[in-house]
A and B are shown apart, each in its own frame.
Chain A
Amino acid sequence: MKNHLVFDDNDPQSELSTLNLGPTHPATHGVFQNVLQLDGERIVSGVSTIGYIHRAFEKIAEHRPFYQITPLTDRLNYCSSPINNMGWHMTVEKLLGITTPKRVDYMRVIIMELARIADHIVCNGVLGVDTGAFTGFLYMMKYREHIYEIYEEVCGSRLTTNIGRIGGFERNFNTIAFDKTRKFLKEFPSVLKEFEALFNRNRIFMDRTRDVAAVTAEQALSYSWSGPILRATGVDYDVRVMEPYSSYDDFDFEVPVGVNGDVYNRFLVRNEEMWQSLRLIEQALAKIEKEPSDIFHADVPEFYLPPKEEVYNNMEALIYHFKIVMGEIDTPVTEVYHAVEGANGELGFYLVNDGGRSPYRLHFRRPSFINYQMYAPMSRGMLLSDAIINMSSLNVIAGELDA
């Protein structure tokens, strides 16, 4: 370690001090505990403790029908719940062999990319706050609100969305949802530009973030990192490109990569991903125009809940409604792994099915859980203030950490 005082062995000042950072420290933005050994302001060693909000989702999922698991996925990464919801729907659709109409895929892309922008707004905004600049955060936060308003038009809720159903959406997007999305597309770029102007070449911000917590590609891969923080190290692994799910292979977008995986690179990668998400939404809106406007779910009456009016007035719909709710539908006995590119990385669902009404075993591959394990080892030798911004830029979400 450089730049620190040297004391005699007997000097009490030579002792290390223990700092209990968290579990409810305001700078950690969530329930994270790290017990750090400090030499002055430098971290000598650290131990992460997790599990403060463990809710046993995998156990609960073994007792719930497939459609009741969607609300559990909301609560994984609650900054971008729609991506989790869609990931789960697509896993079940893969299991059941449902192909969704193109229009549904495009609607999903719009929602997922909006969620990615919302997540990155929070992460990059908070990174600004942690380096001492509140302004950018407040400018950007207004637009997360606009995204939440779009969710609200589509599904009625804002944070834990439970958006969509297995096979499609519960209702069609109304014109207000499309108008709000177009308005967002029109207004957000100028704000994002302003945000970048505020930070990208800001002397103070660069001094605080460049070469802080730099990670090589080898280290990142060894720790199974994924998502923007892996791409910041220069590895172009993006599930949307590697295994295009939904309709991502119909779109033209780029995967931004960084150079040395430090906090500054992660910030730039996330900003660039927001630009790419805007491109994707714009293309999806154009593609939707060409599709029949009344299709918002696949034609799979065995799995898709019929509308309530139908249930009350139509015998078939009533039977299907009963069978779906009571779990009478036979499902294939097999196992499936489906991954989506969550805002933090590869969000995987490993589902083992025994043909019953609920999964035999469901495992969530949670990117935050896997990304966070490098935090304590990489903090060694770091300044405490750098460790704080490192945590912000990892964008670890407590809900996704604990499952």
Chain B
Amino acid sequence: MGKISNEELLNSIKAKFESEVANVTEAFGLLTFETSRESIIDLLTFLKNDENLQFIYLTDITAIHYPESEKQIGVIYHVHSLVNNVRVRIKVFLADGDVHLPTATVLWNGANWMERETYDFFGVVFDGHPDLRRILNVDDLTVFPMRKEYPLEDPNRVDKHDFFFGR
């Protein structure tokens, strides 16, 4: 579909950020890789401003919680090159207790509310964000409700546990 293949894209990213690209996958043709907190903004800046790539469109920022892993919180960026019609998904994993990440509002105004939403639900603190407040939940909520330790229903209720479904 795109004008540049995932391989070319990955090569041009690796040419600049060789040591910062890890765990490359290609689920359903969407190039996905992990990077570090230190290089995420440089990488996004490169993707946005590079003449051949032009990832000018920030589709989405969200997060995911893996309570079992060492780095529990993953922040996920979807960016889209409208010129080449290629998407890329970038993940940054952060350890609980040190959930800080530089803000992407320096690149896109639209990152503002996406980051506020991510903060609201996962507690990711975006350093340098102009207005990092809760957005959908009430201001005096003390928890980050999308983390896995907060169950939706009564935790004593067992009828929906997986072992009742043969798992």
Is B64 a contact of A242 with CB atoms below 8 Å? no
Known A237-B82, A336-B28, A402-B136; judge A224-B59 contact (CB<8 A): yes
Identify the A interface with B (CB < 8 A).
50-51, 54, 56, 58-60, 62-63, 94, 219, 221-225, 235, 237, 242-243, 326-328, 334-337, 339, 346, 348, 350, 352, 356-357, 360-361, 363, 365, 369-370, 372-374, 377, 402-403
CA distance A235 to B56 in the complex (A): 12
Contacts of B108 in A (CB 8 A): 222-224
Q: Decide: A335 and B165 in contact? CB cutoff 8 A.
A: no
Of B76, B110, B136, the residue contacting A224 (CB under 8 A) is B110
10 A-B pairs with CB atoms under 8 Å apart are: A50-B135, A58-B121, A62-B152, A222-B110, A335-B32, A357-B162, A365-B59, A365-B60, A365-B78, A372-B113
Residues from chain B with a CB closer than 8 A to the CB of A243 are 1, 85
The complex places the Cα of A203 from the Cα of B137 at a distance, in Å, of 44
Q: How long is the Cα–Cα vector from A361 to B110 in the complex, in angstroms?
A: 23
Contacts of A59 in B (CB 8 A): 145-146, 152
Task: Say how far B116's CB is from chain A's closest CB, in angstroms.
Answer: 9
Report the number of A-B residue pairs with Cβ-Cβ less than 8 Å: 98
A58 touches B146 (CB 8 A): yes
Least CB distance, A379 to chain B, in whole angstroms = 15
Interface residue ranges of B20-75 to A (CB < 8 Å): 27-28, 30, 32, 56-60, 62, 64-65
Which partner residue on chain B sits nearest A361 by CB separation?
B64
Is A350 within 8 A of B60, CB to CB? yes
Q: Which 10 A-B residue pairs are closest in the complex by CB-CB distance? A: A224-B110, A51-B136, A373-B113, A54-B136, A363-B62, A223-B110, A365-B60, A222-B109, A334-B27, A361-B64
Whether A335 lies near B110 (C-beta < 8 A) is no
What residue of chain B has the Cβ atom nearest to residue A55's Cβ? B136
